[in-house]
Amino acid sequence: MTANEKSSVEFERLINGEQIQQDLDLGADASPEAAAAVLVKARELKGLNASEAAILLQCRDAAVTEEMFQTARKVKEEIYGKRLVLFAPLYISNLCHNDCLYCAFRVKNKEIKRRALSQAEIRDEILLLERMGHKRVLVVAGESYPEEGLEYIFKTIATIYATKEGRGEIRRVNANIAPLSLPEFRDLKATGIGTYQLFQETYHPTTYKTMHLSGTKRNYGWRISAIGRAFEAGINDVGIGVLFGLYDFRWEVLAMLQHIRLLERQYGMGPHTISVPRLEPAAGSEVASNPPYPVSDLDFKKIVAILRLAVPYTGIIMSTRETAKMRAETFALGVSQISAGSRTDPGGYSAGDATPQFQVGDHRCLDEVIYDVVGMGYIPSFCTGCYRLGRTGQDFMDLAKPGLIKRFCLRNAVLTFKEYLEDYASPETKTAGLAAIEENLKDVENEELRQEVRERMARIEKGERDLYF
């Protein structure tokens, strides 16, 4: 029996709550020495099991926590190097039939104006993102669509890929949309989709039912089984996540690890990305303003670090929910992808007069984010090379797990960043960026490859674009 054939009830039992609690109970009594031993293992880049993660999640020793953070940074740089991938979310609709207590788009929220962007409006939004310099977009929609149904999403993806202006183009479209059936996922793959992203929100079944009062999203099993259906449909890059603050973060992290290990066993690969959003205030939501299980800044940083150590090959995404300060601190703990200049309402880049899905913490524009990222020693990247050359799914995992993917990441980051500096950067950012490129070129494996990168950079200066390894 395939994953697609199992019932929702069976999938609801995939998360073993008793095992999670047992791991937490045992980990609570672990000594600082035991936590330090876990960190020694983590440096081998082979990940951690649930019991080891439980020890770190509950360790309160300041010295060990600092060592945890340093280890996470080393592991991230060993796998991905110093590059940070940038993207922008594109909210196309706030229509939704679900009643999720934490979301401004919930069906019973009468405080917001409902709208779904037309294809012409989507084109206008994309043109604005391209003029900023973005090359990657994450399509986000409420879980109801206009009369044309799922075809609306397919048309949106086609519109985005077709919208080009001068040197502006979107080279990769990812999607965060409602769970689909297996045939629908196959149709989604045919559009040229990149990563399919779906958050379970909370893995705790009782909390899940408490937070999702009505709509198809109330079906826990249908949602948790969606990633498997995406894999079976041939979409081999998927993203998962938890909305931290709905339930105990320690329980949620261990449940997510159970989900990941299940995917690895059944499909030979885990998620391409993990997102770590924290609850932020949202219009019409008391839950969002007063999280049932608030996560402190220290614990939030531990979540990022522990996920980096437990699943070292996976990209970790940090959104603009967090402040610029918190985002900067998590870059050093394992974050490898970030959104920038984000708007979380339909038409937000054009007008910005609609109600956002949640309150954004980092309001800086893309150029400001890039300038600061460079100042912190990272190299911004708009790379899509792996996806166009087939380094996805299991092929990507095979390169990421031993730390080989960063060889491609650095070279392609330099080339795409060079494009940005030539086409979109402010004078201050261009000066800082060119210096950063020179510094990072020192980390390219050998002189022959460094020369190849320099030759391609010269071609970019002469007008060529979209060069990658």
In the 8-state DSSP scheme, what is residue 144? Answer: -
Task: State mean pLDDT over 77-81.
Answer: 89
Distance separating alpha carbons of residues 205 and 8, to the nearest angstrom = 12
pLDDT at 289: 94
Q: What CATH number belongs to 77-398?
A: 3.20.20.70
Summarised one tens digit per residue, pLDDT across range 263-302 is 999 999 999 999 999 999 999 999 999 999 999 999 999 9
Q: Give residue 6's pLDDT band: very low, low, confident or very high (50, 70, 90).
A: very low
- Report whether 306 contacts 53 (CB < 8 A): yes
| Confidence category of residue 201, pLDDT binned at 50, 70, 90 | very high
Return the pLDDT at 393.
Answer: 67
Q: Where residue 404 falls among pLDDT bands split at 50, 70, 90?
A: low
Q: How confident is the model at residue 358, as a pLDDT?
A: 85
Region 17-24 average pLDDT: 96
| pLDDT at residue 355, rounded to an integer | 83
Output the pLDDT for position 469: 85
Residue 166 backbone class (left: φ over 0; alpha: ψ -120 to 50; beta: rest): left
- For the beta carbon of residue 287, count every other beta carbon within 10 angstroms: 17
Backbone φ and ψ for 181, nearest 5 degrees, come out as -75, 170
391: pLDDT strictly greater than 80: no
pLDDT tens, position by position, 132-169: 999 999 999 999 998 899 999 999 999 999 999 999 99
Domain boundary assignment for the chain: 77-398, 403-461
- DSSP characters over 304-335: HHHHHHHSTTSEEEE-TTS-HHHHHHHHTTT-
Residue 12: band (very low, low, confident or very high) from pLDDT cuts 50, 70, 90: low
Given this model, what pLDDT does residue 3 score?
45
Q: What is the pTM of this model?
A: 0.93
Confidence at 2, pLDDT banded by 50, 70, 90: very low
**DSSP calls for 236-267:** --EEEEB-BTSS-HHHHHHHHHHHHHHHHHHH
Count, residues in the chain: 469
* Predicted local distance difference test score (pLDDT) of residue 385: 74
* pLDDT score for 111: 86
- Return the residue matching tokens 């894999």: 231
Measured over the CA atoms of residue 290, residue 293, residue 298 and residue 299, the dihedral's sign is negative
| pLDDT band at residue 36 using 50, 70 and 90 as cut-offs | very high
- Type of residue numbered 301: K
Per DSSP, the three-state class of 191 is coil
**Which residues face 241 on adjacent strands?**
275
pLDDT in tens, 214-253: 999 999 999 999 999 999 999 999 999 999 999 999 999 9
Residue 95 has pLDDT above 90, yes or no: yes
Query: Residue 388 has what pLDDT?
Result: 72
Residue 326's Cα: distance from chain center in Å?
A: 16
d(CA 52, CA 49): 5
The share of the chain scoring above pLDDT 90, in percent, equals: 86
pLDDT range class, residue 405, cuts 50, 70, 90: low
Paired strand residues for 274: 240, 316
